[in-house]
Structure 1
Amino acid sequence: MAFCGICGTQMEEHARFCPKCGAPANSSPVAPPAPASAPAAGQNTLMGVLSYLSILCLIPLFTAKDDPFVRFHTGQGLTLFLAEVLVSILSNILWRVLPYGLLWRAVGYLYGILGLFFLVLAITGIVHALQGFQKPLPVLGGIVLLR
């Protein structure tokens, strides 16, 4: 008995066409297309994104610490998180020390501007993680906490 090279249906010996798919009996099998390869970071993209979400950067730090992609983004996210904490502490100290007035307002505005800056850095890091890149963050990317 012969089998169809396309669909694998059993055919009679002298059949010219497959009774199921209609392919010629002497047709060679067609290989299925190869699946598209995902980026190297495909499985750990979520961990890369979590690295830039404030305190959630600790989750990838402890769960996927052996993956170099996750480790890079965790280091960047941890640097960003610690910079946010440092700015928050410093602004809190300045608000308590400075008298209410113009300087107090200036510290508030500066804190708001830095908050927006940190938000832009976090979005930049998330986009890089989603695209599978290991690009350092602007300004803070040179500070390496994890190797």
Structure 2
Amino acid sequence: MYDSTDIQNNKAMAIIAYILFFVPLLAAKESKFAMYHANQGLTLFLTAVLANIVLSIIPIIGWILLPIANLAICVLAILGIIAAAQGQVKPLPIIGSYTLLK
């Protein structure tokens, strides 16, 4: 499904996708591997924004859960970076099944 030369040539773009999801959209839009990880990065980014907005609005309990949610987002980003660095196409736990980019 994913070409091994595509994976080798675009590992850096796939890793960057978890930090700045839009970079692979601009620099490696022809790579299926980089686009897969860009989708995962975009999903992670939107999850982080949504969690931060919702939990910051909820008094006390939301404020307690906010650092835990941000820690979970960081863990998911690290898992994605590790998978990209190893050349794997592996969805992130919980949020990885959503496809926002085609």
The two structures have a TM-score, normalised by structure 2, of: 0.89
Is residue 43 from structure 1 mapped to residue 15 from structure 2 by the alignment? no
1:122 is displaced (CA, Å) by 0.4
Number of equivalent positions: 98
Structure 1 unaligned segments of length 5 or more: list them: 1-38, 99-103
Identity percentage of aligned residues: 41
Q: Select which of 19, 34, 37 maps to 1:70.
A: 34
1:93 is displaced (CA, Å) by 2.4
Is residue 107 from structure 1 mapped to residue 62 from structure 2 by the alignment? yes
Instruction: Give the structure 2 partner of residue 119 of structure 1.
Output: 74
CA distance in 2, matches of 1:82, 1:61: 16
Which protein is richer in helix relative to its size? 2
CA distance in 1, matches of 2:17, 2:63: 27
The two structures have a TM-score, normalised by structure 1, of: 0.63
Structure 2 unaligned segments of length 5 or more: list them: none
Deviations 1:45-76 (A, max 9, x none): 111111111xx111111211110000000000
Tell me, what secondary structure is at the counterpart of 1:73? helix
Provide the aligned C-alpha RMSD in A: 1.2
Matches within 5 A, 1:12-91: 39-40=4-5, 41-53=7-19, 56-91=20-55
CA distance in 2, matches of 1:134, 1:144: 13
